[in-house]
């Protein structure tokens, strides 16, 4: 990292965005560039976009950087437009994994891309990291290729790929990248660039934390402080070996005690160094105080970038999450240790935001991965250095966790007191188990920082499923909901919780989903947004999905793998929608829960399907027929065509 600026120095005004064309490079008077940063996203100069953060950081360190945004991967010519980079290509698929970006949980192609101009799809390939690295090597052989971003980060070892339904090799080998920078890459990337600029070869830069690299058959792997994982061939053939690999990899994610991982793929070995240490306060302040324009590159004109509209007027106050949810990649990518910005830096960013003519006075979000973990960390650093817990909150909140909401309450009060700021909202979502520890925080949130709805994520109601997810019991959510309603009434407001639930998570069978649907009906909840579980690489829940084994306990786990059952589970979350009626009935019949079909208050669907359910009722004159409902118009006829 560059030397942090003085806390008394004024933050510079926004400077022009980094060049994205040879003409812009020439306009800066450069005869070449040091780094070509390749990204699958449109270039948005906003601190919520990785290419902006890393590009600005490299610029601030004195490197000449060009952005190659959403290049046509069918040829290497776009990679040649800036000439041969002096130091390297830095490749990222973008803010999202390209496969998640392209496909739904049912493996259907999405019809939009939030990170492209106008939301247009098709601007990046499947497994974009592989294609981008290949074209970089083809364009300029011998130029070091660094791969990073969430797609590369979570594929650094052998991994289960949901979209091809098989175990794939480490991306280090498939992309043939010289180094993969995993996790948040600022410190590691700058160290690599400094050493490349000093004349070291990329093969000499192999001990940097937060990096992974490949070794050939003739190169012995490091033995000191290293663990050998089951090989690719073993984990591809044996699901218990895959579960063991996952267990070890997750236990080696604390940067203060993690050991180097070595995994053989045939005669080659992939070496994964321990993760980078978290950024210090001055370092993370520096990252967010760089001179961003907070706008898309002018080349896009008036075409909107949908992902920007969500975060344009938001402020990120933390990184990381110690929740450790089994289905979430945030902890694996950003780390378990919370990295908090100083209040001074956050308030300075709010003031810069207030100077924007487009700012209407509302900070849309003051948060991060989880909004109420600001300045929360282990109270005993010497214990943290030995700890291998995957979650500070599950199965119970660690007694050593400093979970005080005091610093956050003071920050929220200062933020809403800033000139030209009408409201400061918290939209990131909060941990209910933490929030209930502070009545003052709940009252502040309800009175000042909720725009009518507050996001929370109970995720399920079944105790067994919640335990596999590493989430608190549903009773915790119910207690929070009651306290939030009480605080809202006290503030004289009628406000609601937006609760998120997941369908198809490992451990959840039809019986568990039916009980969740009954819970939703009993509590009067009708979720409009539901999540289908997508097995992303590296996650604990993905290991459960592929192997049917909980990697941390070795116990068997039920998995809904078929698309039909996944559809049934999703429909149960929205049992109240007429278009889901047929699927809900099918699920109830399969589970032997016909008692939930009928006119009773506890029933999920009525006796007869509604007209909008997509199922046609039999002819009125044959209402007492024993023929099954929904087989076409007048199913006793050879044709379904109506007679005149």
User: 80 in a domain, yes or no?
Assistant: yes
H or E element at residue 514? helix 510-522
Within its chain, how far is the Cα of 404 from the centroid?
26
Q: Looking at residue 553, what is its pLDDT?
A: 97
Token pair belonging to 450: 């909720």
Task: Give me the average pLDDT of each 10-residue run along the chain (644 residues).
Answer: 42 85 97 97 97 97 98 97 98 96 94 96 97 98 97 98 97 98 96 98 96 93 93 98 98 97 97 97 96 96 95 96 95 94 98 94 96 97 96 96 97 96 94 96 96 93 97 96 96 94 97 97 91 95 98 97 94 95 96 95 92 50 36 40 47
DSSP helix/strand/coil, 425? coil
**Whole-angstrom Cα distance, residue 461 to residue 400?**
28
Q: Looking at residue 6, what is its pLDDT?
A: 37
Q: Which residues in 93-244 belong to E strands, given as ranges?
A: 145-148, 159-161, 166-168, 179-181, 211-215, 226-228
Whether the Cβ atoms of residue 461 and residue 508 lie closer than 8 Å to each other = no
Q: Looking at residue 131, what is its pLDDT?
A: 98
Sequence-distant (≥ 6) Cβ neighbours of residue 171 within 8 angstroms: 129, 130, 147, 151, 152, 155, 156, 177, 180
**Number of domains the chain contains:** 2
Residue 181's DSSP bridge partners are 211
pLDDT tens figures, 423-478: 999 999 899 999 999 999 999 999 999 989 999 999 999 999 999 999 999 999 99
Q: Looking at residue 530, what is its pLDDT?
A: 85
User: 251 in a domain, yes or no?
Assistant: no
Q: Looking at residue 613, what is its pLDDT?
A: 56
- CA distances 53 to 50, 186, 244, 421, Å, are 5, 8, 36, 25
Token pair belonging to 601: 């208050």
Tell which phi-psi region holds residue 307, choosing left (phi > 0), alpha (psi between -120 and 50) or beta.
Answer: alpha
Within its chain, how far is the Cα of 319 from the centroid?
12
Instruction: For the chain, give percent helix, strand, coil, nearest 5.
Output: 35, 15, 50
Whether the Cβ atoms of residue 462 and residue 511 lie closer than 8 Å to each other = no
Helices (H) and strands (E) in the chain, counts: 24, 24
Within its chain, how far is the Cα of 290 from the centroid?
24
Neighbour-count burial for 93-115, b at 16+ CB within 10 Å, e otherwise: bbbbbbbbbbbebeeeeeeebbb
Pick from 209, 224, 244: which residue ends a domain?
Answer: 209
Within its chain, how far is the Cα of 89 from the centroid?
25
Token pair belonging to 167: 């175990």
Q: Looking at residue 634, what is its pLDDT?
A: 37
User: 180 in a domain, yes or no?
Assistant: yes
Whether the Cβ atoms of residue 520 and residue 527 lie closer than 8 Å to each other = yes
User: 17 in a domain, yes or no?
Assistant: no
Neighbour-count burial for 451-472, b at 16+ CB within 10 Å, e otherwise: eeebbbbbbbbbeebbbbbbbb
Whether the Cβ atoms of residue 82 and residue 136 lie closer than 8 Å to each other = no
CATH of the domain at 189: 3.40.50.280
**Whole-angstrom Cα distance, residue 130 to residue 261?**
22
Nearest Cα neighbor of 37 from 24, 20, 14, 17 is 20
User: 14 in a domain, yes or no?
Assistant: no
User: 438 in a domain, yes or no?
Assistant: no
Token pair belonging to 476: 């915790």
- CA distances 512 to 468, 505, 553, 580, 598, Å, are 13, 11, 21, 18, 20
Pick from 194, 209, 224: which residue ends a domain?
Answer: 209
pLDDT tens figures, 5-44: 433 344 567 899 999 999 999 999 999 999 999 999 999 9
User: 228 in a domain, yes or no?
Assistant: no
Taken in order 526, 529, 532, 537, the sign of the CA dihedral is negative
Residue 68's DSSP bridge partners are 38
Q: Please provide residue 63's backbone torsions phi and psi, each rounded to the nearest 5 degrees.
A: -95, 145
Q: Looking at residue 14, what is its pLDDT?
A: 82
Whether the Cβ atoms of residue 168 and residue 159 lie closer than 8 Å to each other = yes
Please give the residue range of the domain that contains residue 44. 22-209
Q: Looking at residue 644, what is its pLDDT?
A: 43
Q: Looking at residue 630, what is its pLDDT?
A: 35
Give me the half-sphere count of Cα atoms (radius 13 Å) on the Cβ side of residue 555: 8
User: 564 in a domain, yes or no?
Assistant: yes
- CA distances 503 to 124, 323, 437, 469, 594, Å, are 28, 20, 29, 12, 21
3-state secondary structure 545-582: HHHCECCCCCCECCCCCCHHHHHHHHHHHCCCCHHHHH
């Amino acid at each position: 990292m560059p030397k942090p600026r003085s806390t008394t120095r004024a933050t510079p005004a926004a400077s022009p965005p980094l060049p994205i064309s040879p003409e812009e490079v020439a306009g800066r008077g450069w005869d070449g560039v040091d780094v070509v940063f390749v990204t699958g996203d449109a270039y948005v100069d906003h601190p919520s976009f990785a290419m902006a953060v890393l590009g600005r950081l490299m610029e601030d360190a004195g490197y000449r950087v060009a952005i190659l945004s959403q290049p046509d991967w069918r040829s290497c010519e776009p990679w040649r437009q800036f000439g041969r980079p002096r130091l390297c290509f830095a490749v990222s698929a973008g803010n999202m994994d390209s496969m998640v970006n392209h496909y739904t949980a049912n493996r259907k192609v999405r019809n939009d891309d939030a990170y492209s101009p106008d939301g247009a799809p098709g601007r990046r390939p499947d497994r974009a990291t592989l294609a981008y690295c290949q074209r970089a090597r083809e364009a300029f052989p011998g130029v070091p290729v660094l791969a990073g971003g969430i797609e590369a980060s979570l594929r650094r070892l052998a991994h289960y790929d949901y979209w091809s339904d098989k175990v794939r090799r480490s991306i280090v080998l498939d992309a043939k990248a010289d180094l993969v920078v995993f996790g948040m890459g600022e410190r590691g990337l700058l160290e690599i660039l400094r050493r490349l600029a000093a004349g070291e070869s990329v093969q000499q830069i192999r001990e940097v934390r937060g990096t992974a690299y490949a070794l050939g058959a003739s190169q012995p792997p490091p033995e000191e402080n290293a663990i050998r994982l089951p090989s690719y061939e073993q984990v591809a053939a044996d699901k218990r070996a895959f579960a063991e690999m996952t267990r070890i990899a997750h236990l080696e994610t604390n940067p203060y005690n993690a050991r180097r991982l070595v995994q053989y793929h045939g005669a080659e070995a992939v070496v994964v160094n321990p993760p980078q240490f978290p950024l210090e306060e001055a370092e993370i302040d520096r990252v967010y105080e760089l001179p961003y324009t907070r706008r898309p590159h002018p080349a896009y004109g008036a075409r909107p970038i949908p992902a920007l509209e969500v975060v344009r007027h938001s402020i990120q106050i933390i990184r990381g999450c110690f929740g450790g949810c089994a289905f979430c990649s945030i902890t694996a990518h950003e780390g378990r240790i919370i990295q908090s910005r100083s209040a001074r830096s956050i308030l300075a960013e709010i003031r810069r935001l207030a100077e924007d003519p487009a700012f209407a006075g509302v900070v849309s979000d003051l948060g991060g991965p989880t909004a109420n973990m600001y300045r929360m960390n282990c109270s005993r650093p010497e214990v943290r250095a030995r700890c291998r817990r995957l979650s500070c909150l599950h199965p119970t909140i660690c007694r050593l966790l400093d979970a005080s909401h005091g610093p956050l309450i003071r920050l929220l009060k200062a933020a809403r007191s800033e000139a030209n700021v009408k409201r400061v909202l918290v939209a990131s979502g909060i941990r209910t188990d933490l929030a209930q520890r502070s009545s003052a925080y709940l009252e502040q949130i309800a009175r000042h920082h909720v725009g009518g709805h507050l996001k929370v994520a109970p995720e399920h109601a079944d105790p067994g499923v919640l335990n596999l997810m590493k989430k608190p019991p549903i009773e915790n959510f119910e207690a929070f909901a009651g306290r939030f309603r009480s605080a809202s009434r006290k503030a004289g407001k009628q406000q609601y919780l937006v609760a998120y639930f997941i369908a198809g998570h490992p451990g959840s069978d039809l019986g568990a989903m039916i009980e969740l649907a009954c819970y939703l009906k009993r509590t009067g909840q009708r979720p409009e947004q539901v999540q289908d579980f997508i097995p992303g690489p590296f996650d604990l829940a993905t290991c459960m999905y592929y192997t049917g084994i909980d990697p941390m306990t070795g116990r068997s786990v039920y998995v809904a793998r078929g698309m039909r059952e996944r559809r049934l589970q999703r429909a149960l979350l929205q049992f109240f929608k007429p278009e889901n009626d047929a699927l809900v009935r099918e699920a109830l019949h399969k589970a032997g829960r016909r008692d939930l079909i009928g006119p009773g208050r506890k029933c999920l669907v009525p006796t007869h399907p509604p007209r909008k359910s997509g199922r046609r009722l039999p002819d009125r004159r044959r209402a007492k027929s024993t023929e099954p409902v929904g087989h076409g118009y007048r199913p006793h006829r050879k044709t379904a065509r109506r007679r005149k």
